[in-house]
Structure 1
Amino acid sequence: MPRTTPAPSPDLDPTTVLPGQWSQRTSLKDGTATLLRQIRPEDRTQLADGFERLSPASRLQRFHGQVHELTDRQLDYLTDVDHADHEAIVAIDLDHPEQPGIGVARYVRDPFERDVAEATVVVADDHHGQGAGTLLLGALAARARAQGVVRFRSYVLRHNAPMLALFDQLGGTREPESEDAWRVELSLPSRTRDLPATPAARAFRAAARPSGPRGLRHATRRLRPAHRDGASRPEAGIQTELTPLADGIEDWLVNRDDRAIRWPADRTG
């Protein structure tokens, strides 16, 4: 049965988070208050405006060619996603939500390698060097892991030094794809603490992890009895739930420095 999507609401505030929609509030290196959330059809106009403001160099890095405009069909494809095989995370300036936005990260699952997805990130020129790319990629990775994706594959132009440096800091590997581009592979660990101890990885972890108190409240709810009569669940079932839950709580307690983003003086993202 074809997937049906409600008609976009042109009056929906960009900072509004719809029920069930993933989101996180954070900040860039320069202190810009930022909302990360899943894309939706209502973002169509802002996405088109943001594309118009991209420099020729940024368009080249994103599309590996000179694209002068986005067609209606392309805008439909980019904003009306299923959030499983195709996901996109947008970054919005909370102080200026009427502007096109800070950037967008996107993955599309490989139809033949179902645990692999091609990932792309584009950041508005005005926000280059402020860590937006790192945050977007971290948030995208969290969404991808939740959908069974364990590896990102990206094609990065050889002269795109900031993006190559970001993947390097996250432990990515690369090999030549063409004379002009690298094929980069980035494994997405089940535990963010398994990422390298680098400045970019710290910000990546902060974006990939849900907020602490909310996550812990959710954890305690999962520990309550499953049945109204108080009957205990089978031991195997409890263990299945507790193992990833314990890893998540331990990750939160051990990595205290990663609970909030403390931007280092690096030049990536």
Structure 2
Amino acid sequence: MAEFERPIRTTLTDGTPVMIRQIHPEDKHYLNEGLEELSLEAQHYRFFAPKKAFSERELEAFTEIDHHTHDAWGAFDESGDGPKPIGIARYIQQEESPTAADFAVTVLDSHQGRGLGTLLLGVIASRATDNGIAHFRSVDMSDNRKLFDLLDDFEVERDTRGPEVGIDLKLHDDPAAYPKTPGGEVFRRAHELYCQACGAR
């Protein structure tokens, strides 16, 4: 059985209690549950097209992972009767460039604007740097303002490719190196929470 880091428990900016933990193979149903509640606009920005459900092969690829070259952490709202999936972030190391990784962050529309996206990104950034990753990269739609707003506080290079934009986000081993901005402060908080989860530093 895989060894997982301890769950992180914290609150969002509006006080909503959340648990953030690594994705397990048993979480396949949570991914489809979350997808069902994701708006068509959010699906468009995440998958470049509407998506009704994940295939069995996709669910295996997204949940049966090694947590080193590929790791994912999910967020769950704990304010109700049981944990409700509300967001996920993952990175996948690039084979051609081992110090870089593709990344993605998705937050349900119902929980956007509460700081969860930056918090999830900060957690997987801390995990990635522990595993030798120095850059997060992705290709996104050029009108994805929510993502670009999330990244405005960080060192990001952009390469416009018609309707798409290539993004390169520089990561730091030392969280103090992130800018003294609201986003940088969230990354430092995320790093502290991550270190508590993995029992390090």
User: Does the pair score TM above 0.5?
Assistant: yes
One-letter amino acid of the counterpart of residue 66, structure 2: D
The structure whose Rg is larger is: 1
Unaligned runs of 5+ residues in structure 2 are none
Once the two structures are superposed, what CA deviation does each residue of 1:52-72 show, in whole Å capped at 9, x if it has no partner?
A: 111110101111222222111
Q: 2:165 aligns with which of 157, 176, 182?
A: 182
Cα 1:152–1:42 shift into 2, 3 Å = same
The one of 67, 78, 83 equivalent to 1:83 is 67
| 1:205 is the counterpart of 2:188 | yes
- Give 1:23 shift: 2.9
- Report the structure, 1 or 2, having the larger strand content: 2
2:36 to 36, 52, 55: 52
Counterpart amino acid of 1:52?
E
> In structure 1, how many angstroms separate the alpha carbons of the residues matched to 2:191 and 2:147?
18
| Aligned AA (1:53) | E
- Does structure 2 conserve the Cα–Cα contact (< 8 Å) formed by 1:24 and 1:37? yes
Which deviations, in whole Å up to 9, do the C-alpha atoms of 1:175-202 show, x marking residues without a partner? 11x2222111111111111111111111
In 2, Cα distance between equivalents of 1:206 and 1:151: 20
Task: Please say if 1:194 is aligned against 2:177.
Answer: yes
Aligned positions of 1:140-179 closer than 5 A: 140-176=124-160, 178-179=161-162
Aligned AA (2:165): W
Structure 2 CA distance, aligned partners of 1:77 and 1:97? 29
Report the secondary structure of 2:46's partner residue: helix
Give the gaps of 5 or more residues in structure 1: 1-5, 7-17, 220-269
* Equivalent pair of 1:140/1:208 in contact (CA under 8 Å): no
TM value normalised by structure 1: 0.69
Equivalent-residue separation in structure 2 for 1:131 and 1:147 (angstroms): 25
For this pair of structures, how many residues does the alignment match?
A: 200
CA distance in 2, matches of 1:97, 1:207: 26
Alignment correspondent of 1:257: none
> Is contact 1:34–1:93 with CA below 8 Å preserved after alignment?
yes
Higher RCO (CA 8 Å, separation ≥ 6 residues): 2
| Paired residues for 1:112-261 under 5 Å | 112-176=96-160, 178-210=161-193
TM-score by length of 2: 0.91
